[in-house]
Structure 1
Amino acid sequence: MYPHPDFPDPAAGRATTARPAVEAARTALAGEGVHVMPAADVLACTGADEAAWARFAAHWEDLSEDAYAARRGTHRLRRYGHFSLAPATGELRLLPHTVFVQPDNTNPLYETVDRHFEPLTDAFVADPVLRSVLGLLGRVAGALDAAEWWSVKVHPFRVLATADGGGEPTPEGRHRDGVTLVSSLLVGRDNARGGESTVYSPEGAEVLSVTLEEPASLLLSDDRATLHGVSPIRPVNDDAPARRDVLVTTLTPG
């Protein structure tokens, strides 16, 4: 299976790569409030090889329509789940499914709106890659706050666009989520241009701008100190739709 250009063997350097990668993320978050973890580091930290990643990415074929985004002309698919994570032990528990509500003064389109999304599938919840990713996020979030347990909200998204439009990853524009750590993990993209992620200071200055291109690339930011948004996607080839698959995960002390 190896070598592979996008998926280096995680076992080959996991012990020597994972700890420095986590420490680099923690240092950057505590200082600048933002960090991009390269795909190779994420794969090393999670132990995901090419086959495991392919199984993980396949869950994005089983998402449901986001009716709230559709009302504003965006073709977006998603599901939603809520976990608790104990950083001291790594214990991860799926919590009962509920509506999704964002706090006041965060998302200008949806704050205080009860949004009903389909729950995560059982297969997605049980996927070892998901559980490893959430464990990784718990480790880096410790640089921002101490928590006996983290409230972890998980949103797999697929945004689609045609030549006529419809590909708005963040139709609400520049915003914050009202959490401690917000993360965006690129799962895959096809026939897509655009989708640039930008993190801003509260005053509006650009802190970092990056287009996540390589599967497993991970953008992390301190949501208390920054705002974020993603530019629209459009097809490279107008004869086929553009696709962008991401896992957005937020952590807040429980």
Structure 2
Amino acid sequence: MGAVGVAASDFMEDRMKGLAEETVRDGFAVLPGAQVRPLLAQGELTEFARFWTDLPLDTTLHDGGRYRQRRYGRLRVEIRDDGTEFEVLPHTTFRQDGIPLWKGADRSFAPAGEDALLHPAMTALVGFDTGLAHTITGGRSWEVGIHQIRMIAHAGEEGLPTPEGRHRDGHCYIGMHLIRREGCVGGESTVHPDRGEAVRLTLTEQMDSLFVDDRLVTHEVSPTRAVGERAVRDMLLVDINPIGSDA
């Protein structure tokens, strides 16, 4: 099954050139939610966020923690002159051999549903991320990993967005999009460029986003804590890797 996405607005295409330059220069780019939300039609984001309400527990955590819920899926993305095509790829296990904590582990996550993977909000966000990768490299064919992640922290406990600590994920590019943040403190993102000083920021507004060249930076996120009884931090992570000769 596949879907065809609509091209970004002229404003976003112009902004994309600047973001591509920032990514090449610094290894990352930051997008305020106010600039990302217009990519989605009115009402789509509310509907899309519901896909985070039934995520099963991530049972692969080494510490036995119950603070992370997760689904995983894959898309093939083809960028054409007349639009962007999305195809759902078969579900599979997930490996990150470049991270010592996960080396050699075939991690099995619950599959993301096709209705989520081909939802118009998903294809808009993935289309933007791969469009940015295309602007940087000229590549048109991409394999994309989709991670729907919910971090939960109860009173007196912490959620650990990056239990592996400072790391590279082992991809070419990664798009990180905040779907929801409620009753939450912490969750500060730190990006460590190979050249230059570390940059710290916290995604707080819906659709605040970060795009990184995973080969040029390492990154980590601080623990989350609850203001009251329960904190929720929902993220969409988009792993982007070229297919064939598009590296």
- What TM-score do you get using the length of structure 1 for normalisation? 0.86
Structure 2 counterparts to residues 33-182 of structure 1, below 5 A: 33-44=27-38, 46-49=39-42, 51-69=43-61, 71-88=63-80, 89-102=83-96, 104=97, 106-182=98-174
Structure 1: how far apart are the matches of 2:37 and 2:197?
A: 28
The answer for unaligned runs of 5 or more in structure 1 is: 1-13
The answer for unaligned runs of 5 or more in structure 2 is: 1-7
SS at structure 2 position matched to 1:68: coil
Structure 2: how far apart are the matches of 1:202 and 1:18?
A: 28
Q: Residue 9 of structure 1 corresponds to which residue in structure 2? A: none
Matched residue count = 234
Shift of 1:149: 0.7
CA contact (8 A) 1:144 1:180 kept: no
Structure 1: how far apart are the matches of 2:161 and 2:111?
A: 20
Structure 2: how far apart are the matches of 1:126 and 1:251?
A: 16
Q: Residue 7 of structure 1 corresponds to which residue in structure 2? A: none
Structure 2 counterparts to residues 212-227 of structure 1, below 5 A: 212-227=203-218
Q: Percent identity?
A: 34
119-128 or 51-60, larger mean C-alpha shift: 119-128
1:248 and 2:233 aligned = no
CA contact (8 A) 2:57 2:66 kept: no
Structure 2: how far apart are the matches of 1:118 and 1:139?
A: 27
Shift of 1:71: 3.4
Structure 2: how far apart are the matches of 1:143 and 1:224?
A: 17
Which letter does structure 1 place at the counterpart of 2:238? T
Shift of 1:38: 1.2
Which letter does structure 1 place at the counterpart of 2:215? R
SS at structure 1 position matched to 2:125: helix
Q: Cα distance 1:30–1:202, how it changes in 2: closer, same or farther (>3 A)?
A: closer
1:30 and 2:24 aligned = yes
Shift of 1:87: 1.9
CA contact (8 A) 1:107 1:172 kept: yes
SS at structure 2 position matched to 1:197: strand
Which letter does structure 1 place at the counterpart of 2:25? G
Which letter does structure 1 place at the counterpart of 2:207? A
Structure 2: how far apart are the matches of 1:76 and 1:66?
A: 6
RMSD: 1.8
Deviations 1:13-38 (A, max 9, x none): x8453223222211111111111111
Q: Residue 209 of structure 1 corresponds to which residue in structure 2? A: 200
**Structure with higher strand content:** 2
Shift of 1:192: 0.3
CA contact (8 A) 2:176 2:237 kept: yes
SS at structure 2 position matched to 1:22: helix
Q: Cα distance 1:146–1:52, how it changes in 2: closer, same or farther (>3 A)?
A: same
Structure 2: how far apart are the matches of 1:178 and 1:145?
A: 18
CA contact (8 A) 2:20 2:132 kept: yes
Q: Residue 10 of structure 1 corresponds to which residue in structure 2? A: none
Shift of 1:215: 0.3
SS at structure 1 position matched to 2:60: helix
SS at structure 1 position matched to 2:91: coil
